[in-house]
Amino acid sequence: MPELVVNNLAKEYATRGEPLVVLRDVSLELSAGENVAILGPSGCGKSTLLHILGTLDEPTSGSATLQDQNPFELNEPQLAEFRNRNIGFIFQDHHLLPQLSVLENVLVPALADGSPSQEEIDRARELIERVGLSDRSDHRPAELSGGEKQRVAAARALIHKPVLLLADEPTGSLDRTNAQAMTKLLLDLQKQEKTMLMVVTHSMELASQMNKRLELGDGRLAAK
C-alpha cells in the first residue's frame, strides 16, 4: 500500500514575465519502508519537488497525500503540526542552529509545542548515540566536522519518527569518505525506523543503493 501518493503535481513560479514552469507533471508512489533517489541536473526542480513534498511550499496544481491526508487542505497551524509530526527534512547544509548544542539542536522540533518531554529527551539521546555522537552532545555546530553536522541533522529529522524522511543532497558538501558513511547511516536509520526515504543526490554511488531511481527532467519524473 503506497503511503505517499503524488498525482500530476505542477509548480510554477511567478516572474516579471512568463511564469517559470519548474514541475509540469510529477506523479509517484512510495510505500512504507521504501526509498527512492531523485536524480537530475542542477536547476531541474529537485529542491522544489522536495520542498513541496515536505510541505514547505505549495504546488500550483496536482495533489500529494501522505497516509491519505492532503496537507495542502490544512490551515497554517494544522500544517505546521502535520509537518512536525510526519516529515523529517535533511538539508544539504544541515541548517543547525549555531548557538545550540548537539542535543538541543536534535530537540528543536520538540520545542514547537513547548519544552521537550522526558520521552523526547530520551529519544534525542538515543538518536545521538545511533549516529555515533554521544561524546559530542554538548558541542556546538562550529565544534563539529561537516560529516558530524550532517549526522546531527539526520538525528534531528528523526526525532518525531517521521513517516517520510526527505534529504536534499545530504552528501553534497561532504568528502567521499564522509559521504559514504552518511549514505550508510541514512539507509540504516531508514531500515530501523521503517520510514520512507526520498533522497535528492548527484551521487550515483548513493543512488545505486536505493530501491528506486527516478530522474527529473523537463518537469517530469522518469525511471532511471
Summarize as ranges the residues that interact with Mg ion (CB under 5 A): 47
Q: Are 187 and 209 in contact (CB under 8 A)?
A: yes
The binder of 78, among Mg ion, ligand ADP, none, by C-beta within 5 to 8 A per type, is none
Contacts of 58 (CB under 8 A, 6+ apart): 52, 72
Task: Provide the minimum distance between the beta carbon of 138 and ligand ADP in the complex, in angstroms, as a whole number.
Answer: 34
CB of 40 to ligand ADP, least distance (A): 6
If contact means CB under 5 to 8 A according to the sort of partner, which of Mg ion, ligand ADP, none does residue 20 touch? ligand ADP
Counting beta carbons within 10 angstroms of the beta carbon of residue 194, is it exposed (0 to 12), middle (13 to 18) or buried (19 or more)? exposed
Shortest distance in whole angstroms from residue 100 CB to Mg ion: 25
Strand order in the sheet with 35-39: 61-66, 2-13, 20-31, 220-223, 212-217, 35-39, 196-200, 164-168, 87-90
Of these partners, Mg ion, ligand ADP, none, which one is at the site of residue 42 (CB under 5 to 8 Å by kind)?
A: ligand ADP
Sign, Cα dihedral of 147, 196, 4, 109: negative
CA-based max dimension of the chain: 53
- Residue 139 or 220 with smaller CB distance to ligand ADP: 220
Q: Which is nearer to Mg ion, 91 or 123 (CB)?
A: 91
Residue among 159 and 200 whose Cβ is closer to ligand ADP: 200
Smallest separation (angstroms) from ligand ADP to the CB of 206 = 16
Cα 190 versus chain centre, distance:
12
* Site residue total, ligand ADP (CB under 6 A): 11
Q: Does 45 bind ligand ADP (CB under 6 A)?
A: yes
Would you tell me how many other CB atoms lie within 10 Å of the CB of residue 102?
28
Within 13 Å, how many C-alpha atoms sit on residue 12's CB side?
11
Tell me 146's DSSP state.
Answer: H
Please identify, using beta-carbon distances, which residue of 48 and 183 lies nearer to ligand ADP: 48
Binding mask 6-25 for ligand ADP (x = CB under 6 A): -------x------x-x---
Does residue 44 interact with ligand ADP by CB under 6 A? yes
Asked if 161 and 190 touch (Cβ cutoff 8 Å), the reply is no
**Out of 43, 77, 98, 114, the residue judged to bind ligand ADP by CB under 6 A:** 43
Nearer to ligand ADP, 13 or 204 (CB): 13
Q: Which residue ranges make up the site for ligand ADP (CB under 6 A)? A: 13, 20, 22, 40, 42-48
